[in-house]
Amino acid sequence: MSTVYINSAACISVQDTLHENFLQGLTTRYDIQILKAVEPNYKEFIPPAMSRRMSKTVKMSSVASQYALKEAGIEQPDAIIVGTGMGCSQDSEKFLKNVIDNNEEFLTPTYFIQSTHNTVAGQIALGLQCHAYNFTYVNTSSSLEFSMLDAKLQINDDEAENVLVGSTDEQTERTMQLYCLNNTIKKPEDLPVDLLQSKTDGVIWGEGSSFFVLGKNKTESSYAQLKDIQISNTVELNEVQQYIGKFLAKNNLTFGEVDVVILGFSGDATSDKYYTETMDLFPDSALLYYKHLSGEFNTASGFSMFMASHILKDQQIPEAMMINTVKKDTIKNVLLYNHLLGSDHSLVLLEKV
């Protein structure tokens, strides 16, 4: 099987991650229910006439994908694969509002056409005039991981050399109201909250778009090797240590050989127990978390993949992400573990190039 390299990484998130020195400006907010992405000046990337017709997630993805392709030096990828949990929910809400306001009559089709989940991948392809394989995965919190797995298989099977892979999710007013009503988002009285010490359920919600170019060949811009991915819809709490142990054994690694473990602590006291159980397996590893920087959302793992890529390339761990005080002189193996409120568990193993 071919080695698969992450040859570029770009991210629009709650942090100013498009800025070159973003690691020095990482900020945390523990006192707010919903975190908004730091958006670029879209006029620099998208013609205003087109931008007005695009939802936020399409605009974020268009810019992030342009950054990723430019860094990798790729004009035409051999495939475009996007993962999203909620898709173009802004346009979905606009369409449904029109249905109600107009009593199901005289509806314009634009919002409906643009509300489909594969709009993002399609718009990127249109912008590039790319007629290659184009696919969208909608698998809640493992949407990016399924996209990465597809790209890895395409490269291993010699069907592609360079694949643009991304993840994206946006916030919408009505959906956020519903998440507050069903207590997916933390109640105001439970804030501020330290995600690692949270005693209440619910999360701080975020949004963002992360794009990567996976390639068959190592380049000057390569960040890491994508070694393996494992996805499981359900894992019982008493099975999580065995689940991770089997994954590492399959990759001929012991717990002690994992230098960095990035965990998806979200502040939801019930589901964060999976991460607490995981920590016990890695007493000698640097333990990190990230959702205090990105917020929780369906494809928040894109932010962790972006940060992990930088950690391996720069061989530095941002202090804002550290859970324990373990530091490594050389970082070779990084394990990412994520789930969304206890469902759709994913493990990703990255290795230094």
| 58 Rama sector, left if φ>0, alpha if ψ -120 to 50, beta otherwise | alpha
Q: Give dist(CA 174, CA 184) in Å, integer.
A: 14
Of 330, 245, 320, 247, nearest to 289 by C-alpha is 320
* Span 5-215 CATH architecture: 3-Layer(aba) Sandwich (3.40)
Give the start-to-end residue ranges of the domains of the chain: 5-215, 225-351
End-to-end CA distance of the chain, in Å? Answer: 16
Task: Report pLDDT for 97.
Answer: 84
100-112 pLDDT, tens digit per residue, is: 888 888 777 777 7
CB neighbour burial string for 290-323, b if at least 16 within 10 angstroms, e if fewer: bbbbbbbbbbbbbbbbbbbbbbbbeeebbeebeb
201-251 pLDDT, tens digit per residue, is: 999 999 999 999 999 999 999 999 999 999 999 999 999 999 999 999 999
Pairing mode, if any, of strands 286-289 and 79-83? unpaired
Measured over the CA atoms of residue 235, residue 241, residue 242 and residue 243, the dihedral's sign is: positive
Q: Do domains 5-215 and 225-351 have the same CATH topology?
A: yes
**Topology (CATH level 3) of domain 225-351:** Peroxisomal Thiolase; Chain A, domain 1 (3.40.47)
For residue 335, report the phi and psi dihedrals to the nearest 5 degrees: -110, 130
Cis peptide before 192 (omega within 30 of 0): yes
Mean pLDDT value of segment 163-170 = 97
